[in-house]
Structure 1
C-alpha cells in the first residue's frame, strides 16, 4: 500500500474519532444541563444522596449517547448524499 494513502487514511480515521468523541461529550454535557430541571424528589426518596446523583449522571450519559448517535448518523448520511448524484 502506498504510504501517502496510508497516512491520509490514518489521519482521516483519527479525525473522525476525535469528532465523534467531542460530539458525544458535548451531547452528554447538554443532557446533564437539560436534566437539571428534572424533579427527582418525586421519584427518589433522597434526591441529594450519592445514589440519586449517580442516577442523574447515568441518565445524562444515556440520553447524551442517544442524541450523539443520532447526530453522528445524520452527519454520515448527509455526507453520503453527495454520492447520489
Structure 2
C-alpha cells in the first residue's frame, strides 16, 4: 500500500517537472515584451514564471487524472 503511494508521488513529481520544462521552453518562443512597457524585464520574467507554473500545473493534473482514470477502468470488469 505504501509502495503504491510512493510510486504515485514519484509519478506526480516527475509529471509536474516535465510539464514545467516543456511549458517553459514553449513560452520562450513568445514575444511577451510587446505586451509590457519598455524596460520591464523583471516583470516579464516574473510573468513568464507564473504563467509557466499555471499552464504546467493544469497540463500535469490532466495527465495524472488520465492515468488514474485509466487504471480505474480495470474495476469496470
Greater relative CO, 1 or 2 (CA 8 Å, sep 6+): 2
- For residues 41 and 17 of structure 1, the distance between their equivalents in structure 2, rounded to whole angstroms, comes to 37
- Which deviations, in whole Å up to 9, do the C-alpha atoms of 1:25-49 show, x marking residues without a partner? 1001100011011111221114761
TM-score, L = length of structure 2 = 0.91
Residue equivalent to 1:28: 20
Change (3 A) 1:12 1:47: farther
CA RMSD, 1 decimal: 1.4
Residue equivalent to 2:5: 13
Name stretches of at least 5 consecutive residues in structure 2 with no aligned partner: none
Residue equivalent to 1:5: none
Choose 1 or 2 for highest CA Rg.
1
Q: Figure out how many residues of one structure are paired with residues of the other and give that number.
A: 77
Name stretches of at least 5 consecutive residues in structure 1 with no aligned partner: 1-8
TM-score, L = length of structure 1 = 0.83
4+ runs deviating over 4 angstroms: none
- List aligned pairs for 1:60-79, cutoff 5 A: 60-79=52-71
